[in-house]
Amino acid sequence: MSKILITGGCGYIGSHTIVDLIENGFEVISIDNLSNSSEFTMHGVEKITGKKVINHNIDLCDFEKLNLFFENNQDIKGIIHFAALKSVGDSVSNPIGYFENNLYSLLNLLKCMNLHQINNFIFSSSCSVYGNADELPVTESTPFKEAESPYARTKQMGEQILQDFVRSHHQVKSIALRYFNPAGAHHSIEIGESSRNIANNLVPVITETAIGKRTTMTVFGKDYHTRDGSCIRDYIHVSDIAHAHTLAIDHLLNQQNAPNFDVFNLGNGEGVTVLEAIKAFENESNVKLNYQLGERRDGDVVAIYANNHKAEKILNWMPKYSINDIMKTAWLWEKKRSNKD
C-alpha cells in the first residue's frame, strides 16, 4: 500500500481524490492550511471510506514547517499537489498574492522532494494555460496563448518549473493534469464544493442562487461569438477528475517507461455554454433560476473544451458523468449543506 501526500486535501477536488485513492488501495495523508476549506470535510471522507485521514495544518509557503513534516513522514511515495489560490477574478485584483502563494508553495514542495527522495509528483494544472486557443477542442500539444489572468499564468509557470526540475532530477517523474471545469458532488452527497470564501465557479453560484443564498446571478458576457452569446466551457464531474489522479499516480509508480514529464487534458470533450448549463440545472432541479445577462468579466476566455483522447489511451481514463449528473449531485449537495429538503 503506497502512501500518497495530498496537498489541499480538505478542499473540493482534494477530498474527492482522497476518497478515490482509498477506494483503490492507497494510504493517504493530507496537508491543508484551511485558508479556503474546513477539516469538517474529512468527516465526509471517513463516512464514505471508513478511513480516518489525518490533515496537517501547514502553510506550504513556510519551508521550515514543511520540511519538518517530511522529516517526520519518511514513507511517502508520491505527492498530488492541489493546494493553490484559484479564483480568476481575485487573481486579477491580487496578482502578487497569487504569484507568491501558488509558486512558492510549488517550489518548497520540490525542494522537499529533492531532500527526502520522493520521485512521483502530480500537478494540479488547468485548461486556463491555453488562453484563447485558436482551435477547438484543445489537445495537449495546443500552444499556450497569452494567459488571461494571473491565476492562469501561475499554472503556465508551474508546468514550466516542473519541466525544468525533472530535467535536472532524472529520477523524478511528474504529470500535469489540466482540468477543465470540475463540478458536481460525490454520489453519496457526503462531500461536495464548499469553499470558505465566496464561490466564483458557475455551478455553486447556480445552486446558491437557486436555494436563496443569492438573490440573483449574473451571466458574464452576452455578445461572445458563440451559439447563444455566453462563454463555452467543458464541465467535468469532480469524481471523474478524482479518479484520473488515482490512475495518474498509479501510472507513475508502476510504468517504468513513463516520461519524466507528461500532461493530460481532463475534460468531457464537449463544450457547454453558460446558458446551456443553467438550462441543464433547471431541468434537473425543477427550479427556475433568477439570472441576468451582464458585461464580460476580465480574465475570462471565450471558449475552451478538451480533446481527452490522450488520457483515454495512456491512463485508461474515461469520464462517466454528464452535465445532468453534475447538476443533479450539485443540487443535492447544496440542499444538504443548507439543511433544506
Question: Which residues are part of the catalytic machinery?
Answer: 151
Contact 80, 244 (CB under 8 A): no
> Sign of the C-alpha dihedral, residues 240, 246, 252, 258?
negative
Taking alpha carbons only, the member of 81, 122, 126 closest to residue 101 is 81
Give the C-alpha distances (Å, rounded to integers) separating 225 from 44, 217, 221, 231: 42, 22, 10, 9
> Which amino acid is it at 222?
K
176, containing H or E segment = strand 173-179
Q: Nearest 5°: phi and psi at 81?
A: -105, 100
CA 41 to chain centre: 16
**Pseudo-torsion of CA 129, 132, 134, 136, nearest 10°?**
80
